[in-house]
Structures are given as structure tokens and as C-alpha cells.
Amino acid sequence: MPHVDWRIEAIDFTTCNCDFSCPCQFNARPTHDHCRAAVGFWIEKGHFGDISLDGVTLVALYAWPGAVHEGRGEAQLVIDENTNEDQRRAVMALFKGEETEPGATMFYVYSSTVDTFYDPVVRPITFEADIAARTGRILVPGIVEGSVEPIRNPVTGNPHRVSVTLPLGFEYHSAEYASSTVRTLDASIPLEWDGAHAHLARIIWTPQGVVHG
């Protein structure tokens, strides 16, 4: 089936409530037997048909009562206020896995396991990420704030580097793993954790999925 021609080159800022490494990345059950996540994307370069997505920033909140693949999830999208209506419609289509081959991207996989989509909101978003340093933050005033820092050696306190490659992954090809702290304020999906999983990656997605290599 033909799809809208789209492509995004972005930085992926993903956090979840699991222990470092996120068992989902290894097809294992979540640490606490349920999954909650806050993710952010800054699209450095992209398009959806003839709609430019250059510079678009978005944040998504997720929750599942069990493992992701067991479904019954909840999701809400936040789109940066510095977007126009066409860009917002395009981002919402990507977020819901539309115009994408089955299972090809994280958004498709997640949307297929979500029963409840809360209304998207448009807010100012602060997005910072340094993949090599494994640091960054996302901030949506009044909704969510999250920060990422390196995993640290418990004896020396020195940064402990972990990078993971998923040659057939539906989110990224290679990512730097880190530690996250997340709090929601007035959000449809409450989230709160310290010292849990995070990863930062540079991604390229198309309707056929992740561009690997």
C-alpha cells in the first residue's frame, strides 16, 4: 500500500521507569512489571509529503499496566507551540503510526498497543541533548520535566558508558544509555522516578522504518 513520502532525522530522548538498560530492549519483561515512559524528539530535518518538519519538537507520555506488547496502554502527545497546523497534523499522524509499514517504527508499535489516546496539547517545549556526553533535559511547563545524566560507577562516581546497537530495531540503530529523572505535574499520565533508564540516539525514520547503518 502506498504511503505518504516522509522522512525524519532526529535526536531521540527516551526515558522509562525501568532499571538501566530497559528490559524491553532485550525482549524481557519490564522491571516493575509495568511500563511508563516519557520521550522527546527534536527533528533536525524532516518532511511529511510537502510539509517541512525541520526544527519540530515533540514530547510523548506513555503508560502500560503490563509489558508494552500486552497492550491497554495510554498515550499523550505534546507538540511545541512553534509549529503550524499542517505540521501538527503531520506529527500526529506519525505519532499514531499512520503512513508507516506495520511494526516499522516505535510510534507504530506503541500506537498499536495503546487503547487510550488523550487529546494532544500544544505547549512550549525545551529540548536539550548531548548524545556523546549522555546529558539532556526536556521541559514542558506545567506538564513534565525530565533530565538525563551518565550512569555512574557506584564506587568511584565516574561516568560509566554503555552503548547498545540494535541492527534490526524499530527505534534506533545505536544509542547511548544513561540515567533519567522524570516528574509530571498536571498531566493526564502521571510519571515519577529517579535514577531509571534513559537512552539518547540520532535516528533516521521513513515509512519503511529505521535507516540502519
Q: What is the pLDDT of residue 104?
A: 96
Question: Would 1 be classed as within a structural domain?
Answer: no
Average pLDDT over residues 29-47: 97
Structural domain of 39: 6-210
Number of H helices and E strands in the chain, helices first, is 2, 16
State the average pLDDT for the chain. Answer: 97
At residue 208, the 3 state secondary structure works out as: coil
**Residues 173, 167 contacting (CB under 8 angstroms):** yes
Question: Would 190 be classed as within a structural domain?
Answer: yes
24 is written with which cell numbers?
Answer: 524491553
Confidence of residue 2 (pLDDT cuts 50, 70, 90): low
| Kind plus residue range of the DSSP H or E element containing 107 | helix 106-111
Q: Is the pLDDT of residue 213 over 90?
A: no
Q: Is the pLDDT of residue 210 over 60?
A: yes
Q: What is the pLDDT of residue 98?
A: 96
Question: Would 195 be classed as within a structural domain?
Answer: yes
Average pLDDT over residues 11-24: 96
Q: What is the pLDDT of residue 204?
A: 98
Q: What is the pLDDT of residue 9?
A: 98
Q: Dump pLDDT digits (tens) for 185-205.
A: 989 999 999 999 999 999 999
- Strand locations in 143-191, DSSP E? 144-149, 151-152, 159-160, 162-165, 174-184
- Which DSSP string do the residues of 50-65 spell out, in sequence order? TEE-TT-EEEEEEEES
Name the burial class of residue 175, with classes exposed (0-12), middle (13-18) and buried (19+) by CB atoms within 10 angstroms of its CB. buried
Q: Dump pLDDT digits (tens) for 51-65.
A: 999 999 999 999 999
Q: Is the pLDDT of residue 1 over 90?
A: no
Name the burial class of residue 158, with classes exposed (0-12), middle (13-18) and buried (19+) by CB atoms within 10 angstroms of its CB. exposed
Question: Would 194 be classed as within a structural domain?
Answer: yes
**Residues 180, 142 contacting (CB under 8 angstroms):** no
Q: Dump pLDDT digits (tens) for 126-159.
A: 999 999 999 999 999 999 999 999 999 999 999 9
> 21: domain CATH number?
2.40.400
pTM of the predicted model as reported, rounded to 2 decimal places = 0.96
Q: Tally the domains of the chain.
A: 1
Q: Dump pLDDT digits (tens) for 73-104.
A: 999 999 999 999 999 999 999 999 999 999 99
